Amino acid sequence: MAGITVVGSGISVPDKVVTNDDLTATLDTSDAWITERTGIKERHVGGITSQMAIEAGRRAIEDAGLVPSDIDVVLLSTTTPDALVPGTSATVQAGIGVPGGAFDVNAACSGFVYGLVVAAGLAAIGSGRVLVVGADALSRITDWDDRTMAVLVGDGAGAVVVEPVDGPGDLLSWNFGADGTLRHLLMCDHGGYLFMDGKEVFRKAVRVVVESAERALSDAGLSAADIDLLVPHQANLRIIQAACQRLGIPEERTAVVIDRYGNTSSASIPLALDDALRNERVSPGDHLLLTGFGGGMTWASAVLRWRG
Ligand code: COA
């Protein structure tokens, strides 16, 4: 059975940067409140999901030393597709010039981890390389007069190229979770704006992230001490810190980019992963723990032995 390895990474964010101070011009908020409660300092906005995904995808393919015709499948995780029909992945497939299939995955902010695991499943049943993209333009479904949401969100995309390899490959363990009875905690109806019960999401998020991450560690036969880098969903620095503390993983071994990007949903884990790669924080053989949670609610974790 074929395993997988990750051979390239790329990101894209829109040019427009909105700082916390910029938001105070239109909202009753402050840099101090946003920084203290969330860890966010600025975010990029004005993105279009397909365009960011195309750019991130191209960069990941180039980073892998490949060309678009080397890719068999485009898997796009997004909760903000360009349109309801068609799937945005088809636009990305055409935009990059990939010859193979394309489909969207929507598991909200957990979607990138879901996508990575699905790519591993495709590899196991004989697919070629899969371009896994997490891209979201939350700014498009945000009411910019609602201070409870507007200070949290940003736009972006991150992509990785997943390649089948002989043997077990780099994905050591994974798990998915969902609880649809909690859909009311974080939702957006057709044509509406994002709504969130922040306190409840916070409480639930810490619990499910810790449970899911601990299960992934135990299934991989590892402990927290074996993890070289935790790559968590970037929704709130305090959630990341609480999860680190409960898991026993020091913050120095955690990838954090929320200060620069805010919550970019499906893009947040690949943005954080790419940042760690660019800053040479990942070496071959390192153990990475990716863990996400989001609307649904959904959650997912995966342990990788990097190019192990
Ligand atoms: N600026 C200033 N004040 C604000 C504000 C803002 N942007 N938003 C809310 N407030 C006010 C509230 O009205 C409240 O005022 P009150 O005490 O007079 O009633 C006060 O700040 C505290 O609000 P509260 O909602 O209790 O803050 P909090 O500490 O729970 O932080 C969140 C709010 C949203 C940052 C936090 O709950 C959170 O991050 N939740 C999880 C978010 C998440 O993970 N989302 C993504 C899932 S993928």
Q: What percent of the chain has pLDDT over 70?
A: 100
- Ligand 1: centre distance to CA 290 (Å): 26
Q: What is the mean pLDDT of residues 49-59?
A: 98
Measured from the Cα of 293, ligand 1's closest atom is 48
Residue 29 Cβ inside 6 Å of ligand 1? The answer reads yes
Does 234 have pLDDT greater than 70? Answer: yes
Q: Are 57 and 29 in contact (CB under 8 A)?
A: no
Is 263 a known active-site residue? yes
- Ligand 1: centre distance to CA 196 (Å): 10
Q: Which fold has domain 171-305?
A: Peroxisomal Thiolase; Chain A, domain 1 (3.40.47)
| Nearest alpha carbon, ligand 1 atom 44 | 235
Does 1 have pLDDT greater than 70? Answer: no
- 161 forms bridges with which residues in the sheet? 8, 131
Predicted pLDDT at 34: 98
C-alpha closest to that of 73 among 161, 136, 158: 161
Mean pLDDT of the chain: 97
From residue 148, alpha-carbon distances to 34, 89, 142, 152, 199 in Å are: 10, 30, 10, 8, 11
Burial (CB < 10 A; 0-12, 13-18, 19+), residue 181, is exposed
Q: Which of 20, 44, 175, 233 is catalytic?
A: 233
Does 173 have pLDDT greater than 70? Answer: yes
Residue spans in the chain of domains classed CATH 3.40.47.10:
3-165, 171-305
Predicted pLDDT at 308: 74
| Nearest alpha carbon, ligand 1 atom 36 | 198
Q: Which of 109, 175, 236, 287 is catalytic?
A: 109
100: left (phi over 0), alpha (psi -120 to 50) or beta: beta
Is 233 a known active-site residue? yes
Q: What is the mean pLDDT of residues 251-259?
A: 97
pLDDT in tens, 177-230: 999 999 999 999 999 999 999 999 999 999 999 999 999 999 999 999 999 999
Q: What percent of the chain has pLDDT over 90?
A: 99
Residue 148 Cβ inside 6 Å of ligand 1? The answer reads yes
HSE (CB half, 13 Å, CA atoms) of 30? 3
Predicted pLDDT at 279: 98
Mutate to test the pocket of ligand 1, among 29, 35, 37, 185 (most ligand atoms within 8 A of CB): 37
pTM: 0.97
Residue 201 Cβ inside 6 Å of ligand 1? The answer reads yes
pLDDT in tens, 277-293: 999 999 999 999 999 99
Predicted pLDDT at 272: 98
CATH 3.40.50.2000 fits 3-165, yes or no: no
Residue 205 Cβ inside 6 Å of ligand 1? The answer reads yes
pLDDT in tens, 96-124: 999 999 999 999 999 999 999 999 999 99
